[in-house]
Structure 1
Amino acid sequence: MAPTDRQARTLALAHALSAAERGLAVIPLSRTKLPALRSPHRDNPAGTPPCHGECGRFGHGVYDASTDPARIRALFAAAPRATGYGIACGLPPHHLVGIDLDTKTGTDSATALRELALRHLFTIPPTVVVLTPSGGRHLWLTGPPDIAVPNSASRLAPGIDIRGAGGYLVGPGSRTEHGEYTVAPGSAHLTPAPCPPSLLRLLLPPPREDHPPHRPAHPHGQGLVHFVLAAHEGQRNTRLFWAACRAYENGFGQALLAPLLDAALNTGLTEHEARATIASAARLTGHRP
C-alpha cells in the first residue's frame, strides 16, 4: 500500500536528516521533484533583482539547502505536501557532482557513458548509485573544492544530464508521482568517489569564440588567455582552471603560467586564488605545479 502524503513526508524528513548527518545539504521536494516551497517573490514585478535567501524567508529552492537539523525540520514543517528531498550539489564538504543517466528519452545513456569513458580514458570508480523510478540511475561523484561544475542537459551525450553547482539530486527514499528513489544494491555502504580527471574536464564549459582579443598575449595559447580575460564574476575560477588544463595538456602550461596569472588578476581574482587554481589544473593533468 502506498504511503499517505503525511507518511511520505515523515519518511522524507527522516531520510533528509540522515543525509544531513553525512554532510549533505537538503531541501524538501514535492511529488513532482520540484522544491516543495513556493517562492515568496513570485508576485514581484519583472526585473526585480533575484533573491537567493537574503530576505530570510523560505522558498528559494536549492539556496534553502541546509545540514542544520533545526532548519531542515522548519523547512519540512513549512512544506506539508513534501514527499521527498533534494540534495544540493557543489557544496562543501562533498562538492557533489551528479551524473544523471536518463532512460525516458529512449536513449541508452549508460552505453553512451561507457563510450565516453573508452574515448577519453576514464573509469567510473565504485560510488553511490541511486535508482530512479523510471529505470535511470544517478551516479554520485565529488569535485574539487575550487571548481564549480555547471549543470547541463544532454551536452555530454543524449540522456546524460549533469547536476553541479546550483543544482540538486533527488535523494534516496523520496517518493514522486512515478515511484520511489532507492540506493542501488551494493552501493549503500560507499561514499561519493572523486570525479575522474578526464571526465571532470568534459564537464567544464568549452571556451567561447565570440570574444575579440582584449590585449596582447603569449604567442602560445593566446586564445586561452583571452578566454580567461572574458570571464565574468562567478566564471573566473572555472575559466582559469579550464584554460590551465588545456595549456598543460598541450605542453606549454609552464610557458603560459605568467600570462594566465596576469589575466586572472585582471578579472579580479587574488594572486593566491589564481595560483591555487592553476596548481590544481597542473596536478589534474599530471604535471608538477
Structure 2
Amino acid sequence: MATTDRHSATLALAHALSAAERGLPVIPLSPTKLPALPSPHRHDPEPAHCRGECGLLGHGVYDAASDPVAVRALFAAAPWATGYGIACGRPPHHLIGIDLDTKTAATGGTDSVAALRQLALQHLFTVPETVTVITPSGGRHLWLAGPPDVVVPNSASRLAPGIDVRGAGGYLVGPGSVSAHGAYRLAPGSAELAPAPCPSALLRLIAPPARPHHPAPARAPRGQGLVQFVLAAHEGQRNTRLFWAACRAYENGIGEALADALTDAAVRTGLTEREARATIASAARLTGR
C-alpha cells in the first residue's frame, strides 16, 4: 500500500472510531464511496438475500457497528478503505440524511438548497441548525434525527430535483472520509452539534404514508345463507325450501342453533310456527339428528 493510501486509511479509521464513540454505526468505504468489503456471496449462482446472518463480513450497511473492537475488525479486513459510512435509521439517532446536490446539469440546473427552502416555506417548517457535511463537489449533507417508530426510505430527487434522502438501509459518507473526488468535511460551526430532530412537516414528506386501516367486514353469522334461502321462498315452495335448509343445517352441525331463526323465516313467508317446527323436526329425523 502506498504511503498516501496508508495515511488515508489510518485517518479513515480514526474518524470512524470517533463517530462510533458517539454511538454512530459505521462501515469502511472505498475511494468510490461504496462499501469496501466485497460481498461473500458474489460468486453464488443464485442471488443471496443475506443481511449478515451468515456471520461473514461484506454485507454493506448491515455490517455497520459502533463497538470499537468491531470497527477495528472491519477496517482491518479492508485496509484499502479511505473513508467510512454512517448507517442511517439506526439507534441512537435514527439518522436521516438530506443530500443537497450542487447546481449541475444532473439536477436540471436546480439549486437544491433553494429548493429545500421553498419546500420549508410551502409546508411551514424551518430547516434546523444541525450537523452539516460539505461534499467534494460542494454539496451538503444535513443530518437529522428521526423518531424510532418511523421508517424513512431512501429516495432520489423525489422531494425535488437534486435532493436525495438517506434513510433505513442507506448510509452517509462520514466527515474526514476521502474519496476519488476529494474529502468530506464538517461545515464550520457544526462540529459540536448533534443531529437536530427532523421537523414533523418534513418527516411527513419523506416518510411513506401510513396504510389506511380497512377493518375486515363483519362475517355473517354461520347459517345466515340458509335463513335467506328460506326468506326468498314463494308460495308453493315455502315448505320445500325450509325442509332443504333445515337438512343442510343439521348436516353441518348447526341445526339446533339455527332452528329458531329458520322457524322465524318460515313464519315470515306464510307458514305457521307449528308447520315450520314440524318440517324442521322431519329434517332432523331424516339426517339422523
Q: Does 1:60 align with 2:63?
A: no
- Give me the whole-angstrom Cα distance separating, in 1, the residues matched to 2:91 and 2:47: 31
1:81-119 deviation line (CA, Å, top 9, x unaligned)? 100000000000110000000124242100110000000
- Give me the whole-angstrom Cα distance separating, in 1, the residues matched to 2:151 and 2:76: 31
Q: With structure 1 as the length reference, what TM-score do the two structures score?
A: 0.70
Q: Runs ≥4 in structure 1, deviation > 6 angstroms?
A: none
Letter in 1 for 2:154: N
Aligned twin of 1:46: 46
- Give me the whole-angstrom Cα distance separating, in 1, the residues matched to 2:158 and 2:210: 14
Letter in 2 for 1:34: L
Q: Aligned to 1:116, which of 94, 116, 119?
A: 119
1:10-45 deviation line (CA, Å, top 9, x unaligned)? 000000000000010000000000000000000112
- Structure 1 position 195, deviation (Å): 0.1
Q: With structure 2 as the length reference, what TM-score do the two structures score?
A: 0.70
1:262-289 deviation line (CA, Å, top 9, x unaligned)? xxxxxxxxxxxxxxxxxxxxxxxxxxxx
Aligned twin of 1:13: 13
- Give me the whole-angstrom Cα distance separating, in 2, the residues matched to 1:204 and 1:97: 11
Q: Does 1:33 align with 2:36?
A: no
Report which of the two structures shows the higher radius of gyration computed on alpha carbons: 2
Local SS of the residue matching 1:138: strand
- For the 8 Å contact 2:117–2:127, the answer to whether it is kept is no
Alignment of 1:66-77 (within 5 A): 66-77=65-76
Local SS of the residue matching 1:155: strand
RMSD: 2.0
Letter in 1 for 2:72: R
- Structure 1 position 215, deviation (Å): 4.0
- Give me the whole-angstrom Cα distance separating, in 2, the residues matched to 1:107 and 1:64: 35
- Structure 1 position 138, deviation (Å): 0.2
- Give me the whole-angstrom Cα distance separating, in 2, the residues matched to 1:157 and 1:43: 38
1:180-204 deviation line (CA, Å, top 9, x unaligned)? 0000001111100000000000011
Q: What is the identity percentage for the equivalent residue pairs of Structure 1 and Structure 2? A: 74
Letter in 2 for 1:205: P
Letter in 1 for 2:30: S
Letter in 2 for 1:133: P
- Give me the whole-angstrom Cα distance separating, in 2, the residues matched to 1:206 and 1:145: 16
- Give me the whole-angstrom Cα distance separating, in 1, the residues matched to 2:47 and 2:32: 28
Local SS of the residue matching 1:100: strand
1:28-86 deviation line (CA, Å, top 9, x unaligned)? 000000000000000112354x1101111110000000001111111101101100000
1:140-180 deviation line (CA, Å, top 9, x unaligned)? 00000111111100000000000001100000000001100
- Give me the whole-angstrom Cα distance separating, in 1, the residues matched to 2:61 and 2:100: 21
- Structure 1 position 3, deviation (Å): 7.0
Alignment gaps of 5+ in structure 2: 219-289
Q: Does 1:4 align with 2:7?
A: no
Q: Does 1:101 align with 2:73?
A: no
